[in-house]
Amino acid sequence: MHVVALQLDIVWEEKAANFSQVRALLEKQPPRPGSLIVLPEMFSTGFSLNLAITRQTPEREDEQFLSALAVDYASFVVGGVVSPGTGEKGANEAVAYSPDGALIARYRKIHPFSLGGEAGVHEAGSQIVTFKWGRFTVAPFVCYDLRFPEIFRDASRQGADLFIVMALWPVKRQQHWLTLLQARAIENQACVIGVNRTGNDPLYSYAGRSVAINCHGIITADAGEQEGVLTAALDPEATAAWRRDFPALRDAHPPVPAAVPAV
């Protein structure tokens, strides 16, 4: 099973330009049908708190774009968007689409980044969300969520064995990014895909380092620091075998239930 992660140099607050760049990257390296294509957090604008630009209109233009990508490449697509929230706030979300363009998951970031002012603009979510991709059960998370291991364990208890962490993670905390991604894989015996941007915005610099990590916490693919496409093969059978043969999750309190094989 193949993951395609797009490490974008996001154009600040320019949705049309970022839509075009996503298309251009995929045209250079077309994914095979059935792949899982993953874009960063707030892929269409960067980490702006200007809701007049970032928040989707009632037409849901960002989501229409992601849905069309899924159809065009006969693949699953996950990307980060800002949706209307309650009152004047927005919501920083990860949305997932199946190859027929249907919405199959909507996850709202549980931990808005308070240090960056996000909590005053985006309302927090409260629910873990999963979806099926082949024999994997996938749980998406967004950026700052990575620092809170309890929600990843909650996702494991709901059957997740593949975590997606889409982010806009600045270079000055890059070592935290890599270490925490590996920790979430090791402690949950799960594969992890971390997708970050590269380049600069008015406040931060980003060094990419989008990675694929197996259930032993080993980085199996690394996009480096430049804009580009990371591809990685994931093995659900190896992940299931590790959980079965090394019973750390069963020994947890409360234990993580044994996975039910996908039909």
41 is catalytic: yes
For 206-230, the pLDDT digits (tens) are 999 999 999 999 999 999 999 999 9
143 is catalytic: yes
For 51-101, the pLDDT digits (tens) are 999 999 999 999 999 999 999 999 999 999 999 998 899 999 999 999 999
Centre a 10 Å sphere on the Cβ of residue 28 and count the other Cβ atoms it contains: 9
Q: Which of 41, 93, 118, 123 is catalytic?
A: 41
- Rounded CA gap, 234 and 126, in Å? 29
Distances (CA, A) of 54 to 14, 43, 46, 47, 50: 9, 10, 8, 9, 6
Q: Which of 63, 109, 118, 215 is catalytic?
A: 109
Name the CATH topology of 2-245: Nitrilase/N-carbamoyl-D-aminoacid amidohydrolase (3.60.110)
Residues 219 and 211 sit within 8 Å (Cβ to Cβ) = yes
Q: Where do the structural domains in the chain lie, given as residue ranges?
A: 2-245
- Rounded CA gap, 53 and 90, in Å? 11
Q: Which of 93, 143, 191, 215 is catalytic?
A: 143
For 16-60, the pLDDT digits (tens) are 999 999 999 999 999 999 999 999 999 999 999 999 999 999 999
For range 186-194, the mean pLDDT: 98
- Rounded CA gap, 189 and 217, in Å? 8
109 is catalytic: yes
Residue 98 token pair: 């199946």
Give the up-direction half-sphere exposure of residue 219: CA atoms within 13 A in the CB hemisphere. Answer: 15
